A and B are shown apart, each in its own frame.
Chain A
Amino acid sequence: MNLNQKQSEALKKFAPQIESFSRPALVWVYFLLIPMALAAYALYIQVVDGHIVTGMRDNVVWGLYIANFIFFIGISYAGAVISGILHLLNVEWRKPIIRVAELITVIATIIGPIYILLCVGRLDRLHHLVIYARLQSPITWDVFAISTYLFGGLLFLYLASIKDFAIYRDATELKLQGWRRRLYAALALNYQDTPEQKKSIAVSMNLLSIMIIPLAIIVHSVLSWIFGMTMRPGWHSTIFGPYFVLAAIYSGTGVLIIAMWIFRKVYKLTDYLQDKHFINLSYIMMTLAAAYGYFTFSEYLTDWYSLEKWNGEVIAKLFDLKEYGWWFLFANIAGILLPILVVAVPKLRQPNIITIAASLMVIAMWVKRYLIVVPTLESPLFPIQDTRTEFVHYSPTWVEWALTLGGIATFLLLFTLASKFMTIVSVSELESEKHA
């Protein structure tokens, strides 16, 4: 493939990033292997000893794992919705950031379902989900939705990368081992940048970005219905589908901002991931924060105002500073007010501050998922009347924390490896930017 000047520059710039592992990169990878090894050990313990090693018991049957599951599927929206929508609207500034966004989608969609598997008591019977599948169960919906979504996300990432693979294949100036060049050649599917090929990719990308948006919406709606379809206070809410979808896009945007900030710092990509990208994304984040805040307010106001008995018990736990009050406050201040405030004040609207706000927001969104899962399960309709504290109050064990950290480490590791495999900014896309 012939490269224009801008692409050649970019390729030169990214060469060290994909050619080899620098020493710090290697240290980083080894560092990530520590929590992953710990998680592997925790998983071994859980498989051998049973779920007794977790903090989950008969009342709080789900805990940290499910919160992580919602969280990871949530951040996967970065690519699916953000890049999907921006692609459809043909927003020019999206081009340098779509690769990062799509990687988040694929990697988070791989990690997320692992957490639901960790909640399953009999992993040896997973095939029952297929051979005895019951269409009535929201879990079956989830199995279909998430696997389709993961496939769609992978396809979206792949289609968007074919041109780049062709560039790596042909770029003689890149010092690549033979096997890697052969791999890129295979992945490029003989792409030669002919008008016909260009058109095929453009059409497929358009089609996929149209499909991936409803697919993403379905995935998180179905996920929310695991909770919404039950008769539990705090879960049985008609707005749970859209509420979860919105929360997902919102937290996905936050993770996208953080990832961009890190790559910009580590690979010195200030030319490509510019301030305007952060500011544009921060506008999106602020809008979503307002919408999310509205949903949150609406949800809790309704429960609190009518104060139906069982809903009232959950509300009381969330508002009580001795129970979940501080967490609830943190989730709403850092998760809603802070991002709005930071973006609203022009002086604060800078990449570093936006990223800090996004980081706090992402943590707050994780806390919020925890607050959706646990207080409800601690408030069954019948009084618990049990003297075993672990049956009354859930507190995660080291096994659950180790597997949580392990999941985050795996996410980061896969991201690091992906950034060694392909340029973190789509080189081929830079072409059209020049002509535009």
Chain B
Amino acid sequence: MDDSENVNPSTRRDFLNKLGTLGAIATCGSAACSCGSGASHEHHEVGKKVKLLSPDGEMVEIDESHLRHVHKTIGVSREEARQGIPGKKFVMVVDLAKCKNARKCVSACQKMHHVPEDKEWLSVKLMKDNEQASPYWMPKTCFHCDDPPCVKVCPVDATFKRSDGLVLIDNERCIGCKFCMAACPYSTRVFNWDEPVVSPELAALPYSPETSVPSKVGTVEKCDFCPDMVREGKLPDCVTACPNGVFYFGDENEDVVTNGDETIRFSQIIAERGGYRYAEELGTKPRVYYLPPRDRIFPVERGLDGKSEELKARYKDILNPGKEGV
């Protein structure tokens, strides 16, 4: 992981946003820790100072280059990470009519979770429901099912269902049997087939199932709905990264979901727009709802504009025989 990635603008924004919140203390604490741990001398000072609240409650000013991307260090205990955020029931709504395969969700997710480009916790599929139907782009996160087949089969309780609806993995308990991957009908989970590339700073971060960072060889990981962000009242990274507002995230108990720009009533949009869950017949009760791709904003081909040959090749099975439908 190079420095430029650690000191991106969003880092600072995130960081400042955290000030004043409970989470900030823990965050600053770990930032201060890593500054003092000797890792800081690797950074070239950029001369730009940032004000921070130290764990002792003092205002301190440090060089921006010392800021590390610490979005993934929230000080909840392992016990809390297994329990979930009290009173919440997280839910996601994906508006297929707005997706044009911009892939900003994919790259944001990869960046924030420090996973390499060839590992997609969030992928965009090109779907074609029948021969007459025209293809549409379908972002696919973990569905955080209410009856998760992956959790059922885990022999060591390494993957678990929380009271707030999230399905998470404890990669310090996972034995890597991959049974959950075989059991998940949605191919959501990915495996660390070899030693993941983890920068020393990343490796120094305390692991939590809520952050999923750092990755560990021989264990399973997947989309986690960014519970550490959510705990701070922020939206998961894919939601904020999407330029078209495809993803709505919220709390089913409050009956509200938002894509950052627009906040809507969850039950209402599902009822009005014919929201559905993928493969409902499997009975897994996903927490991700899709709004059908009606009255689409973009033609499906827009999703291929400026994309690499590799990306285009992924969808050849759908695009080539289905040309007449587009």
Give the residue of A58, A121, A129, A231 whose beta carbon is less than 8 angstroms from that of B187: A58
Q: How far is the CB of A155 from chain B (nearest CB, A)?
A: 26
9-residue interface stretch from B202-210, B261-269, B311-319: B311-319
Closest to B181 in A: A61
Q: How far is the CA of A380 from the CA of B182 in the complex (A)?
A: 9
Closest to A390 in B: B193
Q: How far is the CB of B4 from chain A (nearest CB, A)?
A: 28
Counting CB contacts under 8 A, is B33 at the interface? no
Counting CB contacts under 8 A, is A381 at the interface? yes
9-residue interface stretch from A134-142, A196-204, A341-349: A134-142
Q: How far is the CA of A385 from the CA of B101 in the complex (A)?
A: 14
Q: Is the interface of A mostly helix, strand, loop or mixed?
A: loop
Q: Is the interface of B mostly helix, strand, loop or mixed?
A: loop
Which A residues touch B195, using CB under 8 A?
Answer: 49-50
Which B residues touch A51, using CB under 8 A?
Answer: 176, 191, 193-194, 218
Closest to A385 in B: B314
Q: Are A62 and B182 in contact (CB under 8 A)?
A: yes
Which B residues touch A139, using CB under 8 A?
Answer: 153, 155, 177, 179
Q: Are B186 and A381 in contact (CB under 8 A)?
A: yes
Closest to B283 in A: A231
Give the residue of A121, A380, A385 whose beta carbon is less than 8 angstroms from that of B217: A121
Which A residues touch B126, using CB under 8 A?
Answer: 383, 385
Q: Are A136 and B179 in contact (CB under 8 A)?
A: no
Q: How far is the CB of A116 from chain B (nearest CB, A)?
A: 8
Q: Are B185 and A381 in contact (CB under 8 A)?
A: yes
Q: Are B178 and A61 in contact (CB under 8 A)?
A: yes
Counting residue pairs across A and B whose Cβ atoms lie within 8 Å, the total is 140
Residues of A with Cβ closer than 8 Å to B? Answer: 49-52, 56-59, 61-62, 119-122, 125-126, 128-129, 132-134, 136-140, 143, 226-227, 229-232, 377, 380-388
Q: How far is the CA of A273 from the CA of B130 in the complex (A)?
A: 62
Counting CB contacts under 8 A, is B192 at the interface? yes
Q: Residue-by-residue, is B43-86 near A (CB-CB < 8 Å gives 1, otherwise 0)? A: 00000000000000000000000000000000000000000000
11 pairs from A and B in contact (CB 8 Å cutoff):
A51-B176, A56-B193, A58-B187, A62-B178, A120-B177, A121-B175, A129-B155, A230-B185, A383-B126, A385-B126, A386-B314
Q: How far is the CB of A123 from chain B (nearest CB, A)?
A: 8
Q: Are B218 and A121 in contact (CB under 8 A)?
A: yes
Q: Are B175 and A49 in contact (CB under 8 A)?
A: no
Counting CB contacts under 8 A, is B156 at the interface? yes
Closest to B153 in A: A137
Q: How far is the CA of A52 from the CA of B179 in the complex (A)?
A: 17
Which A residues touch B318, using CB under 8 A?
Answer: 383, 385
Which B residues touch A227, using CB under 8 A?
Answer: 182
Q: Residue-by-residue, is B113-140 near A (CB-CB < 8 Å gives 1, otherwise 0)? A: 0000010000101110000000000001
Q: How far is the CA of A133 from the CA of B220 in the complex (A)?
A: 18
Q: Are B178 and A387 in contact (CB under 8 A)?
A: no
Q: How far is the CB of B189 from chain A (nearest CB, A)?
A: 8
Not counting A51-B218, A231-B282, A382-B186, a sample of 11 additional A-B residue pairs whose C-beta atoms are within 8 angstroms of each other reads A49-B195, A51-B193, A58-B187, A59-B187, A121-B177, A125-B174, A132-B157, A136-B153, A232-B183, A385-B318, A386-B314
Which A residues touch B304, using CB under 8 A?
Answer: none
Give the residue of A50, A122, A132, A387 whose beta carbon is less than 8 angstroms from that of B193: A50
Counting CB contacts under 8 A, is B154 at the interface? yes
Q: How far is the CB of A276 from chain B (nearest CB, A)?
A: 45
Give the residue of B174, B179, B284, B315 whose beta carbon is less than 8 angstroms from that of A122: B174
Which B residues touch A377, using CB under 8 A?
Answer: 182
Q: Are A382 and B156 in contact (CB under 8 A)?
A: no
Interface size of B in residues (CB-CB distance below 8 Å): 47
Counting CB contacts under 8 A, is B152 at the interface? yes
Q: How far is the CA of A384 from the CA of B126 in the complex (A)?
A: 10
Q: Are B155 and A50 in contact (CB under 8 A)?
A: no
Which A residues touch B154, using CB under 8 A?
Answer: 134, 137
Which A residues touch B173, using CB under 8 A?
Answer: 125, 128, 132
Give the residue of A50, A57, A230 whose beta carbon is less than 8 angstroms from that of B149: A230
Interface centre among B118, B187, B192 (most CB of A within 10 A): B187
Counting CB contacts under 8 A, is B270 at the interface? no
Counting CB contacts under 8 A, is B280 at the interface? no
Which B residues touch A56, using CB under 8 A?
Answer: 193
Counting CB contacts under 8 A, is B297 at the interface? no
Which A residues touch B140, using CB under 8 A?
Answer: 382
Q: How far is the CA of A30 from the CA of B152 in the complex (A)?
A: 46
Q: Are A50 and B178 in contact (CB under 8 A)?
A: no
4 interchain residue pairs of minimum CB distance:
A121-B176, A121-B218, A52-B194, A139-B155
Give the residue of B125, B176, B191 whose beta carbon is less than 8 angstroms from that of A383: B125
Q: How far is the CA of A380 from the CA of B279 in the complex (A)?
A: 13
Which B residues touch A382, using CB under 8 A?
Answer: 125, 140, 186-187
Q: Are A50 and B217 in contact (CB under 8 A)?
A: yes
Which B residues touch A386, using CB under 8 A?
Answer: 314
Closest to B189 in A: A58
Which B residues touch A119, using CB under 8 A?
Answer: 177-178
Q: How far is the CA of A133 from the CA of B177 in the complex (A)?
A: 14
Q: How far is the CA of A66 from the CA of B218 in the complex (A)?
A: 17
Which A residues touch B174, using CB under 8 A?
Answer: 121-122, 125
Counting CB contacts under 8 A, is B219 at the interface? yes
Interface residues of B in 187-236 (CB under 8 A from A): 187, 189-195, 217-220
Q: How far is the CA of A139 from the CA of B182 in the complex (A)?
A: 13
Which A residues touch B153, using CB under 8 A?
Answer: 136-139, 229-230
Counting CB contacts under 8 A, is B2 at the interface? no
Contact status of A133 and B156, CB under 8 A, knowing A121-B219, A231-B149, A383-B318: yes
Closest to B188 in A: A382
Contact status of A128 and B314, CB under 8 A, knowing A51-B191, A232-B185: no
Which B residues touch A132, using CB under 8 A?
Answer: 155-158, 173
Interface centre among B156, B185, B217 (most CB of A within 10 A): B156
Q: How far is the CB of A342 from chain B (nearest CB, A)?
A: 37
Which A residues touch B118, using CB under 8 A?
Answer: 388
Which B residues touch A230, using CB under 8 A?
Answer: 149, 153, 182-183, 185
